[in-house]
Amino acid sequence: MHANWKTWAHVTKLDPDKHLPQGAIEEIATSGTDALMLSGTLNVTPENLSELLDLVSAYGLPLVVEPAGPECAIFDGAIDYLFVPSVMNTDDVRWIVGKHHTWLRHASSIMWDMVVPEAYIVLNPNSAVGRVTGANCALSAEDVAAFAEVADRYFHFPIVYIEYSGTYGDPSIVQAAANAVEHATLYYGGGIRSAEQAAEMGRIADTIVVGNAVYEEGIDVLRATVRAVQ
């Protein structure tokens, strides 16, 4: 039985390409975060993904893999969900449907009950995900709201994900997306490095994702972001 991802307030994102000190995984797993998401943009391989999965799977927290590409779309027994992104605000069709087509052409079997599609709206042009996907990040609040609404009401994505990737976003833009979304769960990720920021975005989005803070600020800050939204 899978955990219910719709109830999560706080998700911690771990990058298979980054290294954590000894003991850090246990501290993250016991921080009170609702789930761990294994996700990165650069240098993510099936090998380092499996390595990280081995480290985190012992703690019984819900585990999500967010594949950087088709080769990382794995259905390992340890994971609960595969969150598969499509980038709404790119002109490069590979990141909307092309990589997904490649995945299905070559996959031996897909466990569809584990797959959760995400509509990504990428808003940091200097981020790895922004550069790799060619996202058009120069968007007004109205633009973002329209992308969020088309993802939610037209394409019926279960998750709309506002991704500022490494930098703290504009709450008024996230609010515009929240106002536009009727059915989807709104995720916010990017630059949350304090309880105040976690609380601010947690009031607007359904779920906040904390990633860089784990590596740059440490476990105490992660715990503070959990307490701010739980």
Lookup result for tokens 């991802």: 5
- Tell me whether residue 212 is annotated as binding: yes
- Tell me whether residue 162 is annotated as binding: yes
Q: From residue 46, give the alpha-carbon distance in Å to each of 6, 17, 41, 63, 216.
A: 27, 11, 13, 16, 25
- Tell me whether residue 15 is annotated as binding: yes
Question: 2, exposed or middle or buried, with CB in 10 Å at 0-12, 13-18, 19+?
Answer: exposed
CA 175/CA 6 separation, integer angstroms: 19
Q: 189 - beta bridge partners?
A: 163, 209
- Tell me whether residue 166 is annotated as binding: yes
- Tell me whether residue 190 is annotated as binding: no
- Tell me whether residue 45 is annotated as binding: no
Question: Which residues line the annotated binding site for Mg(2+)?
Answer: 15, 41
Extract the annotated binding site. 13, 15, 41, 161-166, 191, 211-212
Write out the binding residues for sn-glycerol 1-phosphate. Answer: 13, 161-166, 191, 211-212
